[in-house]
Amino acid sequence: MTLHPVLTAVTERVISRSARTRKAYLELIARERENGISRPRLACGNLAHAIAASGDDKAGLRSARGMNIGIITSYNDMLSAHQPYGRYPDQIKLFAREAGGTAQVAGATPAMCDGVTQGQPGMEISLFSRDVIAMSTAVGLSHGMYEGVAMLGICDKIVPGLLIGALRFGHLPAILIPSGPMPSGLPNSEKQRIRQLYAEGKVGKDRLMDAESDSYHAAGTCTFYGTANTNQMLMEVMGLHLPGSSFVPPNTKLRQELTRAAIHRLNEIGARGDDYRPLGLCVDERAIVNAAVGLLATGGSTNLAIHLPAMARAAGIVIDWNDLDQLSSIVPQLTRVYPNGSEDVNAFHAVGGMPSLIGSLLDAGLLHPDIMTVARGGFAEYRKKPCMHDDALTWEDAGPSTDDTILRAPANPFRADGGMKVMEGNLGRGIYKTSSVAPERWTIEAPAAVFDHQEDVLKAFRDGRLDRDVVVVVRFQGPAANGMPELHKLTPTLAVLQDRGHKVALVTDGRMSGASGKVPAAIHIGPEAYVGGPLSLLRDGDVVRVCARTGSVETLVSATELANRTPSRPPAPQFGTGRELFALMRGNVDMPEQGASAILASMDHMAAQEDA
């Protein structure tokens, strides 16, 4: 199938825009392969420290005959998605020995759960945990003991952080190994209904707690299609998972055999083998564009509009929101998974899942078929689903979707476009996810209610001051102000107002969760209010217009009047819950469209100084 011309044009633009930085990156990983730290170059004392506690693996590690795999794990037993990883290192060591190699836990990373910190002070360090995870990954790999990397991570900031860190060691092969989703629990629509009833005071806390516990009830990833599961889709469509492995449930024979196969495959794609596939070559411009296509085709989380540019940037690739917007015009929405539908990722997986999705996008010319993947047969292998036959792992053709209420082909999409829109106007530039919002709500014009804290929005609702047509503006929520916490806590409240028949929209320089749902929202608005962006000039009662059809977010206040206003003073910095430890990151972070990363901003500054 011939590639769609817009896909080709966007890719060529990304390649051209990235020419200098990509060249510098490829030169870096080539130098690291030839001259960087590695086991053969370690002094005897260095090596002795690294293998002192290795038991039966010590002889192999000392001789450096086989590959040594560095395991970067985000295990903790508080986070359901990552709890299964507790057993993985021991399994991986056995699987590595089967392939003639060894494995060591190179290091661990934090793994925050945005579900636990939603609406809490800890959410203000959530986005910056991605930078910490990237640095933690680099710390683990800096010992130079490894010829391959197994990355254990699932959720929101964790997968992007792992990839950003590992890409700085892009001469090594790497595979991300998922743990899979928990069994389906309370239907998402019912959970959302109970949340709205609680917001209205119609049910008590015990009823709400019962509903939440029936939704999040076992080991594995939450089953709605939020940021965590969008990450899994992204890694598969970039060819960094084994084919079809994203949504296989934990604690099953198939899940274990996929982990074994991933470790065996790592041994095959190392520099000493005949199929060398380093991470830095797998993650190229075409793979990044494929990731963007997957995001749009599945109506994935808007958080990836921040994470994807950051991951790309770590590999010397520059992608921006205009690229996403242009791809959205030609990539149809092919899935209906909550919050874009009633079913969850388990249902999506059961009706064909990632193999069917990838196959249909390849057939439509909407994915680059020639990317370098971790699978032996290349990207064509990602049409296949893993199965167990006679206690052995095999892959077989997935074929088309078996239920077009959940997953469709491009010839019969749910929507003709990918449901992500760049928004621009006199209030700044941001993102709007149209795929979850009914078309009749794409344009909202109403007086603004302006807040500096999300708790003030909830208080205004309880006091009855928002029971009207309203554009709720929540500012000073950007990365420089307070770390850009998600404002998902506001969703049930705003949904109640919308269900009462009011015209309601949200405008913010903060974030909304990948599970935010049906309320129109222009998010990630920049420049953020904290640095003097236009949201700092808004006042209660100013008429604001949010229109996804034209891609505009603006106030109808005249330019002259805005120019004569004094920006509102930012709230005082908040201490407690460790937030003060992240002041350095808030002070050095860049724009969300660039990835909202302090470490990448600093890295680019270093590169500019070197060029000068």
Structure tokens at 547: 């229109």
CATH code, residues 420-564: 3.50.30.80
Diameter over CA atoms, the chain: 76
Q: Are 517 and 486 in contact (CB under 8 A)?
A: no
Question: pLDDT value at position 489?
Answer: 85
Q: Are 59 and 164 in contact (CB under 8 A)?
A: no
d(CA 317, CA 297) in angstroms, rounded, equals: 22
Residue carrying structure tokens 């979850």 = 436
DSSP assignment string, 487-530: -GGGHHHHHHHHHTT--EEEEESSB--TT--SS-EEEEEES-GG
Return the exposure string of 257-292: e unless at least 16 CB atoms fall within 10 Å of the residue's CB, then b: bbbbbbbebbbbbbeeeeeebbbbbbbbbbbbbbbb
Question: pLDDT value at position 612?
Answer: 64
d(CA 295, CA 537) in angstroms, rounded, equals: 34
d(CA 172, CA 166) in angstroms, rounded, equals: 8
Question: pLDDT value at position 167?
Answer: 98
What residue numbers does the annotated binding site for [4Fe-4S] cluster cover?
155, 222
Cis peptide, bond prior to residue 527, ω within 30 of zero:
yes
d(CA 510, CA 124) in angstroms, rounded, equals: 11
Question: pLDDT value at position 516?
Answer: 56
Q: Which residues are CB-neighbours of 454 under 8 A, at least 6 positions away?
A: 119, 474, 477, 485, 487, 489, 490
pTM for this entry: 0.95
Residue carrying structure tokens 């509009």 = 305
DSSP 274: S
- The low-confidence residues of the chain, meaning pLDDT below 50, are none
Give the pLDDT confidence of 144-174 residue by residue, as tens digits.
Answer: 999 999 999 999 999 999 999 999 999 999 9
Structure tokens at 406: 């959940």
- Beta bridge mates, 445: 545
What residue numbers does the annotated binding site cover?
155, 222
Which is nearest to 517 in space by CA: 497, 553, 491, 487?
Answer: 491
Give the pLDDT confidence of 553-602 residue by residue, as tens digits.
Answer: 999 999 999 999 999 999 988 899 999 999 999 999 999 999 999 999 99
Q: Average pLDDT, whole number, for the chain?
A: 94
Q: What is the amino acid identity at position 544? A: V
Q: How far is CA 449 from the centre of its chain?
A: 30
Alpha helical stretches, state H, 402-464: 454-462
Q: Are 379 and 369 in contact (CB under 8 A)?
A: yes
Collapsing DSSP to helix, strand or coil, 214 comes out as helix
Sorted by where each begins, the domain ranges of the chain are 5-36+67-183+218-397, 420-564, 579-611
Residue carrying structure tokens 């910095």 = 573
Structure tokens at 549: 């059809």
d(CA 151, CA 291) in angstroms, rounded, equals: 18
Which is nearest to 269 in space by CA: 178, 384, 172?
Answer: 172
Q: What is the amino acid identity at position 511? A: R
d(CA 379, CA 1) in angstroms, rounded, equals: 14
CA dihedral 34, 319, 411, 520 (to 10 degrees): 140
Integer CA distances (angstroms), 597 to 118, 430, 583, in order: 21, 17, 13
Structure tokens at 158: 């964790």
